[in-house]
Amino acid sequence: MAEEKVVEMPPRIMTPLMMVIVAAIAALLSAFSITMTAFSPTWVGGSIFNPGNIGLIILSILLLLSGVTPQLRKVDARLLTILWVTFTVTVMYSYGTVPMALFDAMLASRTYNPRWREWFSILWGPSLEVARLQLKGGVLVPWEEYMPSLLGWILLAVLWWLFIISLMSIYRRQWMDVEALPYPASYTGSELILDLSKAEERKGRRMLLLIGSLIGFLIFLPQALRNVFPWFPDIYGLGKDPWISWSLFTIDTTKTPLKGTLVGLNGLQFNPSAIAFAYLIPTDILLSAIVSNIFFMLVLPQIAYYFGYYSTALTVSDVVTKRDVIGQGAPFYFYAMASYGMAPAVILVWIVLNWRYIIQTFKWVHKPDPKVDAEEPIPFRLSYIILFVSIALLFAANVVIGATSLAGALIIIFVHFLHNSIRARSAGYGGPWIGDWMEPVGWINWMYAGVTSSTVTASMVNDYLMINRPQNILNWNNADVMVMFRIAKNTGTSLRDVTLAMMIAMVVSAVVSFPLALHIRHVYGSKIYRGLYVDGWWMYFIHDPTRMTNYPAPGFDWVWSALAGGIVIAAVYVARMLWFKFPLEPIGVWAGVAGCNTFILTSWTIAYILKKITFKIGGVPLWENKGLPLAVGVMVGWSLALFLSGILGIIRFFFPF
């Protein structure tokens, strides 16, 4: 007899009782989060909770309490990890973007689009007369009118989740175990979890994290108080020019003496939290992005200007307008170069170069390896089954529920495969730098070139609706699955446990928060703090194919710029492969162009200098043991101050003072 393989399974803690606890936490937190979202002030970005801050807020509070409660210093790291992923995934489906923004869009779709609103699919809710009931407040939800769209969005959310989690499970082994991508966003969770569970062993790191938290909190506190109390002095002057209102501590250079200097210069970021996060990003990514930003955003536009292009860039007085001038304009079409050339190349070239790994995963499907499968979140055979079944169901759902064309449904699935793969890959180095609401549109424009108002059809309208922001936001945060896998690896938590907890949290949150959000909107109506149309503005035009064919730029000359961007990334991949010391990294090169702005020119340069100084003084150990916890602390303190201002804003809304 052949010797039987003995596989050592990771320790598991997801017992039936723990599953019930996770489900209960998800239900309670989603109800609380979506309720708070309705009354969250605008300055917190739509909700006091979001997937990036919920775990940080709760665990940092526990960390502070552990100073007076010794029992909290002995909590199992695996339990804290399960709680972290439960909090994070729950809020993915119960905050300002999902589902509240979808209901904003449903109301706006009927209000803003009188011409074609009758063509919208069942996803966009009942008639305008019924939809406007929520403006009144104090009314019951007409559930029979909303049920088809409500069930449709929940179904799409679950299907996209299954699609993404199976795809991430397939990538995970190569990216995390072989290439050892650091996933800098995981440092926050890992540090807080380990500081709580191993308090005695990590006193030094814990102290540095607390010091950093105090620094971050105090830096942001004046602005937090200014947000709540208009009479509080504007100490930093952020409410006046040249500061950008939607990007804190960022200068709009079009409102400074620099306005008439460099064509591509549009903003300079000095946000301490952004600098702290950039300090966690690998130095080769930082250097690549800085060099790329200088070359593509400053040098090339300046040369083009001397040849007669971008002539209005030095006359506009708004950072977004100036960005659009070079982003949409000839000769470089930087929006297309970044989003349709460089970004896809990041993942497609990787797949080509790592074809052996892809083939190997299919071999594990054909002949499972118990040892390999035991180390994975989902066995490879099951991952591929879930992936292909979810693709088939997404195709059917988009065609039937979303009323898209057959070709439109296929393109939608391909685009979201591409975007989520890019997001997850770039998150390994400090991203993602893709996710802008206009980025999917160009992939479908070839189908409708030359469309006019008289030739628009229902399938065109719904194709543009469904490829754009609505489905984009459903899986906007799903690539964070890889970050949570990295946290699990850092804390010694079973990937199976983490995956199970995420699945439970996702389903429970979607089932609870979607109906509850609709109920809150009908009960409170226009009285809710955030407004009923806040995130519905994009429905004014994304349904209109005659407008959407202008993105990422009018015509199709932008395709050549996209191809050039892809070639640049492929060349950097090859150079990196042939010469180990080649200084540039593909994802860093793309990061320098991704935002079509110069924000990172300051924040990332500062972080790069600080990191190089750290390495010069004490090498990697100094950065890892001192610099990292201090930087994480700054981010924690910043988030806590913003959270506090949001809570005060909600209290002040109900009890003016």
Strand partners, 243: 251
Q: 320: left (phi > 0), else alpha (psi -120 to 50), else beta?
A: alpha
Neighbours of 414 (CB within 10 A): 12
Q: How far is CA 289 from CA 73, 267, 282, 548, 597, in A?
A: 40, 16, 11, 30, 12
Q: 563: left (phi > 0), else alpha (psi -120 to 50), else beta?
A: alpha
- The interaxial angle of helices 495-524 and 100-112, nearest 10 deg, is 40
Which tokens belong to 259? 């306005």
Between CA 172 and CA 178 the distance in angstroms is: 9
Q: What is the DSSP letter of 243?
A: B
Which tokens belong to 436? 């802008």
Element spanning 501, H or E: helix 495-524
Between CA 81 and CA 495 the distance in angstroms is: 10
Secondary structure string (H, E, C) spanning 85-107: HHHHHHHHCCECCCEHHHHHHHH
Phi and psi angles of residue 377, each rounded to the nearest 5 degrees, phi first: -60, -40
Helices (H) and strands (E) in the chain, counts: 28, 2
CA dihedral angle for residue 624, residue 628, residue 630, residue 635, rounded to 10 degrees: -170
Phi and psi angles of residue 230, each rounded to the nearest 5 degrees, phi first: -55, -25
- Check residue 1 and give its pLDDT: 34
Residue 467 and residue 414 in contact, taking contact as beta carbons nearer than 8 Å: no
Q: Low-confidence residues of the chain, pLDDT below 70? A: 1-10, 434-439
- Check residue 62 and give its pLDDT: 92
In the block, tokens 């099951």 appear at 382
In the block, tokens 């991952």 appear at 383
* Residue type, position 565, single letter: G
Residue 384 and residue 170 in contact, taking contact as beta carbons nearer than 8 Å: yes
Secondary structure string (H, E, C) spanning 533-563: CCCCHHHHCCCCHHHHCCCCCCCCCHHHHHH
For 182-220, give one letter per residue: b (16+ CB within 10 A) or e.
Answer: bbbbbbbbbbbbbbbbbbeebeebbebbbebbebbbebb
Residue 171 and residue 489 in contact, taking contact as beta carbons nearer than 8 Å: no
Residue 250 and residue 240 in contact, taking contact as beta carbons nearer than 8 Å: no
Secondary structure string (H, E, C) spanning 440-482: CHHHCHHHHCCCCHHHCCHHHHHHHHHHCHHHHHHCCCHHHHH
Between CA 183 and CA 187 the distance in angstroms is: 8
Q: How far is CA 113 from CA 5, 360, 457, 533, 621, in A?
A: 63, 50, 14, 14, 58
Between CA 390 and CA 170 the distance in angstroms is: 15
Q: Which residues contact 335 (CB under 8 A, 6 or more apart)?
A: 327, 328, 438, 551, 552, 553, 558, 596
Q: Is the dihedral of CA 196, 200, 202, 208 positive or negative?
A: positive
pLDDT digits (tens, 9 = 90+) for 487-505: 999 999 999 999 999 999 9
Element spanning 643, H or E: helix 628-654
Between CA 292 and CA 299 the distance in angstroms is: 10
Give the largest CA-CA distance in the chain.
Answer: 82
Element spanning 269, H or E: strand 267-269
Q: How far is CA 376 from CA 171, 379, 477, 485, 497, in A?
A: 10, 6, 21, 10, 11
Element spanning 268, H or E: strand 267-269
Which tokens belong to 356? 């052996």
Residue (of 87, 125, 100, 121) closest to 46 by Cα position: 100
Report CA 403 to chain centroid distance, whole Å: 27
* Residue type, position 595, single letter: G
Between CA 651 and CA 657 the distance in angstroms is: 9
Strand partners, 267: 252
- Check residue 8 and give its pLDDT: 56
Element spanning 363, H or E: helix 355-366
- The interaxial angle of helices 458-467 and 406-427, nearest 10 deg, is 10
∠ at Cα 455 (453, 457), nearest 5°? 100
Strand partners, 250: 269
Q: What is the pTM of this model?
A: 0.94
